[in-house]
Structure 1
Amino acid sequence: MNPLVQLAAEEAENPLIPPIPELIIGLIAFVIVFGFLWKKLLPNINKVLEERREAIEGGIEKAEAAQTEAQSVLEQYKAQLAEARHEAARLRQEALEQGSALKEELRAEGQRQKEEIVAAGHAQIEADRRAAAQALRQDVGQLATALAGKLVGESLEDHARQSRTIDRFLDELEEKAEAAR
């Protein structure tokens, strides 16, 4: 062959376009590999992706459920805390009221005891005053009798007469003392 013809024949073949038999064989190989991947690999990939999607959705649902439960427990704790604070305030108020009542009771008891002691003191003072008045009456009576006996010059030893004289003298003194007031 002529070199020019051969050159022209080579020019007719484009290096970018493969020969037809190679193109057919490549297409058949592509279809076989694509069919194999479609039948065997794609279902496994879809299955794994579906399992992951379900696991993620289940995890999200579990997390939402756990968050809801945690929120519920938090609300319960807040309610219990508020109730405990209310109960503590009520107990504090009750203790204050009981303390005030006890203080008033003790104050009233102290006042009553003070009044009893003062009354007993007054009664004791009155009894001591009477005893002192009686002792004074007897002493004054004896002194008055002795003095009167010396003045009169006779003995006033008669007990009944002496008592009457003393009583009369003291009654007159008491009347004068009351009139002077």
Structure 2
Amino acid sequence: MAANIALLAAEEGGETHNPLIPETYDIVWSIVCLVIVGFVFWKFVLPMAQKVLAERTEQIDGGIKRAEEAQAEAQAALEQYRAQLAEARTEAAQIREDARNQGQQIINEMKAQAQEESDRIVTAGHTQLAAQRQQIVTELRSDLGRTAVDLAEKVIGESLSDDVKRAGSIDRFLDELDSVDAKTSAGK
């Protein structure tokens, strides 16, 4: 086979031609085609590719910007929520304190009312006791006077049934009893 290649080379004429180097017309037409394809690529394909890349870059940047805005809004909402929560806690503490104060005030008012009622009941009791004492003293004087008159009638032997005499004797006896009672109270 090597002999066949050598024969073919000898037949072409004696000029040695390097098969790795193309002919000049091939190089020229290849350069012309390359320039046309390069021009079409530069004029139509590259702007479209740059436009697509710019749109994608804009979408990515817009997405990042929207994400940052959403994150900022979320952070603002979180801060607002925390502020509202702190305000609600403060308000709840204030309401509890007000309720405690109102409860204490109600307790104090109820104690004051109870004390007033107790004082009123004690005063009414004292008044009632004084009235009952006076009534009992009056009844005792009346009974004592009658008993004294009855005893005096028995001792004297005569009837003291006359009302005027009886009243005078009873009054005299009671006055004497009061003076004795006052002397014993003063002596103590």
Q: TM-score scaled by structure 1?
A: 0.83
- Deviation at 1:52? 1.4
Q: What percent identity do the matched residue pairs reach? A: 43
- Deviation at 1:10? 9.1
Aligned to 2:58: 54
- Deviation at 1:98? 1.6
Amino acid at match of 2:43: K
Among 153, 168, 178, the alignment partner of 1:171 is: 178
- Deviation at 1:136? 0.7
Aligned to 1:25: 29
Q: Aligned partners of 1:52 and 1:140: how far apart in 2?
A: 127
- Deviation at 1:4? 8.5
Aligned to 1:72: 76
- Deviation at 1:29? 2.4
Q: Aligned partners of 1:85 and 1:10: how far apart in 2?
A: 107
Amino acid at match of 1:174: D
Summarize the Cα distance change of 1:9–1:170 in structure 2 as closer, same or farther, 3 Å threshold. farther
Q: Aligned partners of 1:160 and 1:63: how far apart in 2?
A: 117
User: What is the aligned residue count?
Assistant: 180
Amino acid at match of 2:181: E
Alignment RMSD (CA, Å): 2.7
Aligned to 2:86: 82
Determine if contact 2:149/2:166 at 8 Å carries over to the other structure.
no
Q: Aligned partners of 1:92 and 1:81: how far apart in 2?
A: 16
Determine if contact 1:137/1:170 at 8 Å carries over to the other structure.
no
Q: Aligned partners of 2:81 and 2:19: how far apart in 1?
A: 81
Amino acid at match of 1:129: R
Segment of structure 1 superposing worse, 122-131 or 158-167: 158-167
Q: Aligned partners of 2:183 and 2:7: how far apart in 1?
A: 185
Amino acid at match of 1:84: A
Q: Aligned partners of 2:125 and 2:49: how far apart in 1?
A: 110
Look up the SS of the partner of 1:29 in the other structure: helix
Q: Aligned partners of 1:18 and 1:122: how far apart in 2?
A: 144
Q: Which runs of 5+ in 2 are unaligned?
A: 1-5
Q: Aligned partners of 1:10 and 1:88: how far apart in 2?
A: 111
Aligned to 1:105: 109
Q: Aligned partners of 1:150 and 1:164: how far apart in 2?
A: 19
Q: Aligned partners of 2:15 and 2:187: how far apart in 1?
A: 170
Q: Which runs of 5+ in 1 are unaligned?
A: none
Among 8, 16, 19, the alignment partner of 2:20 is: 16
